[in-house]
């Protein structure tokens, strides 16, 4: 486990590791020597040889001073490595998350990630700053005391040398189930964290459906599971500590018995007997201390495995060579893809979106429409075939180059807990004031700013909670407008908006898509009708393609879809007149 922890130390701090080990071992050896010096000090005092006693006291004082120096060095070097490890690990995790497929985040919640990046790294820090010294001290001091005791009273030393590995074995057996228990606690805590965040973010929905307090079954269940996991850990850890403590006390009694037997048999003096009992107590203390931190070590080992597991999540291969986009078209060439390899969502899909044209993608739910947009933005790599954006395969161009060509407006708009202005400029902070104003006006965000206390400098709340759904869409469109990328991926989300918000958003979309290459998952008939080509997707395949007029003339799947949507838009509630 220690090797795994040290493997996570950043390269610039790894040179300090030998210095840390040297300081810990020197501290432990000087501590053992200080314990052993009790024997000659007490012997000299009992012999009433004050001169010799003072000499041994001075030697002991010098040893304690050396111990203090190395204790300070081990603490300062350990803390320095621990702080550097925190910064280095969190940076590594951040860089690794940036390299993971965007789709990875759709199946991994914020709760587990936050625990790994904060709690687990703190546990690993503690291993370097605190636990490592305790563990080595608990090993080196007893061994050094036992070896030194060979020159004072070999019988007592023999008991020490035999008992130390037995104690470590008892501790291991008593706590062997701790790791699985700790994993259960971590999973339960991560689930509880996610549910608490959800509880805070979804208050309007929860209150509307009476799912607050005891009515929130998901939160109640998560908290109950967390309490149960903590109880199980206590039931596992405490018996182990009790058993180990009993064995330690039995060992001390055995050592004391051996010393007293030697004294009553005339083998050692009263001074030596007292000193040996004191040294035996010092021998026991580090062993007991090691047992107390062993659970912390196992918890740290689990934390190391979780951090390592996250860092080993496969990333998308990053192209190293520079690529210059030669066009603004999009092409799918015999693309097959599935979120699970055995269940393809798209099968042998081929089509082209020429530069400057709009392609609408329609079809039933689950047909793979949104997946097409995700693959164009390289949320995932395809299983076979090739996705081409800007004249180059998405795998052949650096992520930054690919995403610089794309403006994305998806159904689920996420706004950061910052101001309206900061949310709009996040993709292009260097934009001029005039460019910012044009984007704001085109998306009608100026109407939103007019009612906010600080205009565009007003915070939008976590996830944009201070704004309505339509207003969040407007901000996202302004963000995409300001980026001004040549290719627009649009997962239209206007069906749930009120007529005014819908009209504003549609105007913003039209402004966004002028002279751009557009792939749009279409829900609105007006968007479908004006597309340069329409792809009707079903079961991961294109079953019909053509313009609106051509597809209606075919009188096939698209025509049925169009007629059904047309009838739906004409639905209304007839007024009822009460009888006279």
State the residue for tokens 């005791």: 149
pLDDT band for 208, please (50, 70, 90 cuts): very low
Average pLDDT value for the chain:
79
Short-list 273, 281, 229, CA closest to 252: 281
Q: Are 460 and 475 in contact (CB under 8 A)?
A: yes
Element spanning 338, H or E: none
pLDDT tops 60 at residue 216 = no
pLDDT tops 60 at residue 210 = no
End-to-end CA distance of the chain: 87
3-state secondary structure 374-413: HHHCCCCCCCEEEEEECCEEHHHCCHHHHHHCEEEECCCC
Q: What is the pLDDT of residue 340?
A: 81
Domain 2-311 matches domain 330-569 at the CATH topology level = no
Q: Which of 214-223, 247-256, 265-274, 541-550 has the highest mean pLDDT?
A: 541-550
Average pLDDT over residues 129-153: 81
What sign results for the dihedral spanned by CA atoms 129, 134, 140, 141? positive
In the chain, domain spans:
2-311, 330-569
Q: What is the CATH number of domain 2-311?
A: 1.20.1560.10
For the chain, give the percent of residues with pLDDT over 70.
78
pLDDT for 46-60, tens place per residue? 788 888 889 989 999
Short-list 336, 350, 331, 334, CA closest to 389: 331
Average pLDDT over residues 129-150: 82
Q: How far, in Å, CA of 389 to CA of 194, rounded?
A: 36
pLDDT tops 80 at residue 440 = yes
Average pLDDT over residues 16-32: 92
Q: How far, in Å, CA of 193 to CA of 285, rounded?
A: 38
Element spanning 312, H or E: none
The fold of 330-569 is Rossmann fold (3.40.50)
Q: What is the pLDDT of residue 422?
A: 92
Q: Which residues, 6+ apart, have CB-to-CB distance to 344 below 8 Å?
A: 336, 337, 338, 383, 540
pLDDT band for 314, please (50, 70, 90 cuts): confident
Burial of 477 (0-12, 13-18, 19+ CB in 10 A): buried
How far from 200 is each of 196, 233, 419, 460, CA to CA, in Å?
6, 28, 20, 16
Q: Which residues, 6+ apart, have CB-to-CB distance to 566 below 8 Å?
A: 525
Burial of 458 (0-12, 13-18, 19+ CB in 10 A): middle
pLDDT tops 90 at residue 196 = no
Average pLDDT over residues 484-506: 73
pLDDT band for 224, please (50, 70, 90 cuts): low
Short-list 258, 287, 299, CA closest to 170: 287
Q: What is the pLDDT of residue 506?
A: 72
Q: Which residues, 6+ apart, have CB-to-CB distance to 184 below 8 Å?
A: 229, 232, 233
Q: Are 542 and 536 in contact (CB under 8 A)?
A: yes
Average pLDDT over residues 383-399: 92
Q: Which of 9-13, 219-223, 533-537, 538-542 has the lowest mean pLDDT?
A: 219-223
pLDDT band for 159, please (50, 70, 90 cuts): confident
pLDDT tops 60 at residue 201 = no
Q: What is the pLDDT of residue 389?
A: 94
State the residue for tokens 């050592």: 255
Q: What is the pLDDT of residue 219?
A: 56
Q: Are 268 and 145 in contact (CB under 8 A)?
A: no
Q: What is the pLDDT of residue 199?
A: 53
Which of 74 and 194 is assigned the larger pLDDT?
74
Short-list 525, 519, 512, CA closest to 475: 512
Q: Which of 60-74, 243-257, 326-340, 386-400 has the lowest mean pLDDT?
A: 243-257
């Amino acid at each position: 486990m220690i090797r795994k922890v040290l493997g996570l130390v950043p390269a610039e701090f790894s040179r300090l590791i030998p210095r840390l080990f040297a300081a810990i071992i020197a501290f432990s050896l000087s501590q053992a020597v200080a314990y052993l010096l009790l024997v000659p000090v007490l012997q000299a005092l009992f012999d009433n040889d004050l001169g010799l006693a003072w000499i041994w006291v001075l030697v002991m004082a010098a040893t304690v001073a050396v111990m203090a120096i190395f204790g300070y060095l081990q603490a300062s070097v350990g803390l320095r490595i621990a702080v550097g490890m925190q910064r280095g690990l969190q940076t590594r995790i951040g860089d690794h998350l940036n390299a993971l497929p965007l789709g990875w985040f759709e199946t991994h919640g914020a709760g587990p990630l936050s625990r790994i990046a904060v709690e687990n790294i703190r546990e690993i820090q503690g291993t370097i700053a605190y636990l490592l010294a305790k563990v080595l001290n608990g090993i080196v001091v007893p061994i050094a005391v036992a070896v030194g005791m060979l020159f004072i009273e070999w019988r007592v030393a023999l008991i020490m040398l035999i008992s130390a590995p037995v104690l470590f074995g008892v501790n291991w057996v008593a706590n062997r189930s701790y790791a699985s228990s700790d994993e259960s606690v971590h999973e339960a805590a991560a689930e509880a964290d996610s549910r608490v965040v959800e509880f805070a973010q979804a208050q309007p929905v929860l209150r509307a459906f009476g799912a607050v307090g005891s009515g929130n079954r998901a939160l109640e269940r998560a908290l109950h599971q967390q309490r149960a996991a903590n109880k199980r850990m206590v039931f596992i850890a405490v018996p182990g500590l009790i058993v180990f403590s009993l064995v330690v006390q039995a060992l001390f009694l055995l050592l004391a018995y051996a010393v007293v037997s030697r004294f009553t048999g005339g083998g050692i003096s009263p001074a030596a007997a007292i000193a040996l009992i004191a040294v035996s107590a010092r021998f026991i203390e580090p062993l007991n201390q090691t047992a107390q931190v062993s659970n912390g070590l196992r918890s740290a080992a689990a934390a190391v495995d979780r951090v390592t597991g996250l860092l080993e999540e496969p990333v998308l291969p990053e192209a190293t060579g520079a690529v210059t986009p030669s066009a603004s078209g999009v092409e799918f060439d015999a693309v097959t893809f599935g979120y699970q390899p055995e269940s393809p969502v798209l099968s042998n899909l081929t089509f082209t979106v020429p530069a400057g044209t709009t392609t609408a993608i329609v079809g039933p739910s689950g047909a793979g429409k949104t997946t097409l947009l995700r693959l164009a933005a390289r949320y995932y790599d395809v299983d076979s075939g090739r996705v081409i954006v800007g004249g180059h395969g998405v795998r052949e161009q650096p992520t930054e180059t690919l995403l610089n060509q794309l403006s994305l407006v998806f159904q689920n708009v996420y706004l950061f807990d910052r101001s309206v202005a900061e949310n709009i400029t996040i993709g292009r902070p260097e934009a001029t004031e005039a460019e910012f104003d044009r984007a704001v006006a085109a998306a009608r965000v100026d109407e939103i700013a007019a009612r906010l206390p600080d205009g565009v400098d007003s915070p939008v709340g976590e996830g944009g909670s201070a704004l309505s759904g339509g207003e969040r869409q407007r901000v996202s469109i302004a963000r995409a407008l300001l980026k001004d990328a040549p290719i627009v991926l649009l997962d239209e989300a206007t069906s749930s908006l009120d007529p005014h918000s819908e009209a504003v958003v549609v105007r913003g979309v039209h402004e966004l898509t002028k002279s751009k290459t557009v792939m749009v998952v279409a829900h609105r008939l007006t968007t479908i009708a004006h597309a340069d080509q329409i792809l009707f997707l079903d079961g991961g395949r294109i079953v019909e393609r053509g313009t609106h007029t051509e597809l209606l003339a075919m009188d096939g799947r698209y025509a049925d879809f169009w007629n059904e949507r047309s009838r739906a838009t004409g639905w209304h509630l007839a007024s009822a007149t009460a009888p006279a």
